[in-house]
Homo-oligomer: A and B are copies of this chain.
Amino acid sequence: MKTAPRPASGKLLYAQSGGVTSVINASAAGVIEAARTHGVKVYAAHNGILGALREELIDTSKESKATIAALRHTPGGAFGSCRYKLKSLETHRAEYERLIEVLRAHDIRWFLYNGGNDSADTALKISQLGKAMGYDIRCIGVPKTVDNDLAMTDCCPGFGSVAKYIAVSTLEASLDVASMADTSTKVFILEVMGRHAGWIAAAAGLAGEGADAPPHVILFPENVFDEAAFLAKVKATVQRVGWCTVVASEGIRNAAGQFLAEAGTRDAFGHSQLGGVAPVLAALVKEKLGYKYHWALPDYLQRSARHLASKTDAEQAYAVGKAAVDYALAGKNAVMPVIVRSSDAPYRWKIEPAPLSKIANHEKKMPRNFMTRDGFGITAAARRYLAPLIQGELPPPYGKDGLPRYATLQNTMVAKKLPAFEI
C-alpha cells in the first residue's frame, strides 16, 4: 500500500461501470458526501469510462445536498454507466493516454471507478500509466456487482439486495402456487441472473428450509444440467408436497456445454436465441411429466428493485464509497475498499483496502460446499454466509402518489477543454 502527500489542489472523478444495481447510487452518495466534507469537488463521468474518454464530465457540485442524499435510495446509475472494456495497454495505448490527457486538463487527481473486476483492471492500468507518464493520479476501485463474484471481498455491494428480492419473491410466489396446486399450476420456475456463478440462485434458498419448503430445486450454473435427475426431483416433490418451486440460473448448461436458454427455443424468425431458460425447463416439465406450469423471468426488475433493498447491502454500498474517498485523500493508490467479515451471527463487518492487482480479472465462484450433495439445494454453510446479507429493510420514501421518490439529477456538464476523441 503506497501512500503519498495529498495534492495541493485537484478534483475527484467518479465513474460507474457495467450493469447497474439498486444500490450503486448509494456508493455515489458515499463518494460525493465524503468528498464534500473534505472540500474536494467531484466530477462524474457521463456513461462511465466513455464519459472520461469523450470528456463528458458532470459537475456534481451543482446538485443540492438533498439530491445527493436521495441518491442513497435511488436505483440505476445516476450518471450513466456503460458496457465498454478498455483493451490492453499495449494495443490501445492511445485510449489510456487520452484518459490521462482528460484527467490532466481538468486537474483530476483522484479517479474512483465503481464496478467489477474489469473496472478494477482499468483502474489499475490507469494508475500505472499515470506513473509512467509522470501524472500524479490515484486510482481507487469501488466494488459493485450483483453477481457477487469479486475476489478479496467477502461480498459485493449490489448482491445483497438482489438476494433479498429473489428470496422474498420465491417465498411469495410459492405461497401463490401452494394455494392453487390442487387444480392449477403444479410447477413454478423462477429464472434468476447469474451467467457463471450461482450466488443469486443460492439466495433463493433463504426463502425456506427443509425438503418440503420452497425452493425445492435450485439449478446452479456451476453444475452440468442433468435432465433425468432434475425431472426425478420435480416429480418426487410434486408427489410429496403437491407442487414444486424451481429456481434456475440463466447460465445453466447441458453436458455439451450449451446454454439451455439457447438450446431449445426458436423465435418467429427461426433464430435460436430468445434468452430464457425458464420456458425451456417449463416445456420439458410439461412434455415429460405432464404438469401444468408457470414461469417468471424478472430480469432487470431484480437488480433495480430498490423498494426491497437489503439494509445491510445499502449500508455497505455507501460505506465503500466513503472509504474510497478516505483512501484516495490519504494518498492510497491502486486499491479497493473491500468488505471483511469478522462474524456471521451477530453479523460483523468492516472495510479494509485490498490491492487492485489481486481483484482485477479474477472471478469468485460459489464454493462446492455451499451446494447440497445432489446439487439442487444450499447447505448450512451457504445459509450462514448468505443470511446476514439480506437482513434489514431500508425502503425509499414514498410520495402521496404511491411511488418511491427517486432522485432526479440535473447532470450539469463541465465545459470541454480538449478536441473530440474518436473512440
The reply to whether the CB of A233 lies closer than 8 angstroms to some CB of chain B is: no
Q: Which residues of B contact A263 (CB under 8 A)?
A: 268
Give Cα distance in the complex from A267 to B74, angstroms. Answer: 38
Give Cα distance in the complex from A301 to B306, angstroms. Answer: 16
Residue of B nearest to A287 (CB): B269
Which among A16, A50, A269, A304 has the greatest number of chain B C-beta atoms within 10 A?
Answer: A304
Give Cα distance in the complex from A171 to B279, angstroms. Answer: 26
CB distance from A391 to the nearest CB of B (A): 4
CB distance from A52 to the nearest CB of B (A): 13
Contact of B301 with A175 in the complex, beta carbons under 8 Å: no
What's the number of copies of this chain in the assembled complex? 2
Contact of B267 with A264 in the complex, beta carbons under 8 Å: yes
Q: Which residues of B contact A190 (CB under 8 A)?
A: 301
Q: Given A20-B176, A274-B282, A295-B299, does the pair A183, B84 have CB atoms closer than 8 Å?
A: yes
Give Cα distance in the complex from A280 to B297, angstroms. Answer: 14
Contact of B267 with A182 in the complex, beta carbons under 8 Å: no
Give Cα distance in the complex from A298 to B304, angstroms. Answer: 14
Q: Given A81-B180, A268-B265, A283-B271, does the pair A294, B305 have CB atoms closer than 8 Å?
A: no
Contact of A300 with B294 in the complex, beta carbons under 8 Å: yes
Contact of A207 with B403 in the complex, beta carbons under 8 Å: yes
The reply to whether the CB of A34 lies closer than 8 angstroms to some CB of chain B is: no
Stretch from A123-131, A315-323, A394-402 forming part of the interface with B: A394-402
The reply to whether the CB of A216 lies closer than 8 angstroms to some CB of chain B is: no
The reply to whether the CB of A107 lies closer than 8 angstroms to some CB of chain B is: no
Residue of B nearest to A74 (CB): B175
Cross-interface CB contact of A403 among B206, B283, B284, B303, cutoff 8 Å: B206
Contact of B182 with A80 in the complex, beta carbons under 8 Å: yes
CB distance from A356 to the nearest CB of B (A): 23
Which among A22, A83, A264, A283 has the greatest number of chain B C-beta atoms within 10 A?
Answer: A283
Contact of B390 with A76 in the complex, beta carbons under 8 Å: no
Q: Mark A165-205, 1 if CB is under 8 A from B, else 0.
A: 00111011101111110111100101000000000000000
Give Cα distance in the complex from A265 to B273, angstroms. Answer: 11
Cross-interface CB contact of A296 among B280, B300, B306, B398, cutoff 8 Å: B300
Q: Which residues of B contact A279 (CB under 8 A)?
A: 265, 267, 274-276, 279
Contact of B76 with A176 in the complex, beta carbons under 8 Å: yes
Contact of B83 with A184 in the complex, beta carbons under 8 Å: yes
Cross-interface CB contact of A298 among B179, B284, B296, cutoff 8 Å: B296
Contact of B304 with A173 in the complex, beta carbons under 8 Å: yes
Give Cα distance in the complex from A169 to B312, angstroms. Answer: 22
Q: Which residues of B contact A282 (CB under 8 A)?
A: 274-275
Give Cα distance in the complex from A398 to B394, angstroms. Answer: 11
The reply to whether the CB of A47 lies closer than 8 angstroms to some CB of chain B is: yes
Q: Which residues of B contact A253 (CB under 8 A)?
A: none
The reply to whether the CB of A308 lies closer than 8 angstroms to some CB of chain B is: yes
Q: Which residues of B contact A180 (CB under 8 A)?
A: 19-20, 77, 80-83
Q: Given A76-B176, A179-B76, A297-B296, does the pair A171, B406 have CB atoms closer than 8 Å?
A: yes
Contact of A182 with B50 in the complex, beta carbons under 8 Å: yes
Contact of A20 with B269 in the complex, beta carbons under 8 Å: no
Q: Given A16-B179, A275-B279, A402-B391, does the pair A301, B169 have CB atoms closer than 8 Å?
A: yes
Give Cα distance in the complex from A167 to B50, angstroms. Answer: 31
Give Cα distance in the complex from A264 to B167, angstroms. Answer: 32
The reply to whether the CB of A240 lies closer than 8 angstroms to some CB of chain B is: no
Give Cα distance in the complex from A406 to B174, angstroms. Answer: 12
Q: Given A84-B183, A268-B265, A297-B297, does the pair A310, B176 have CB atoms closer than 8 Å?
A: no
Contact of B176 with A75 in the complex, beta carbons under 8 Å: yes
Q: Could you show 6 A-B contacts with beta carbons less than 8 Å apart?
A: A77-B176, A172-B307, A265-B279, A268-B283, A296-B300, A387-B402
Beyond contacts A294-B299, A298-B301: 9 other A-B pairs, Cβ-Cβ < 8 A, are A50-B182, A76-B175, A164-B402, A177-B300, A267-B279, A269-B287, A271-B283, A275-B294, A307-B308
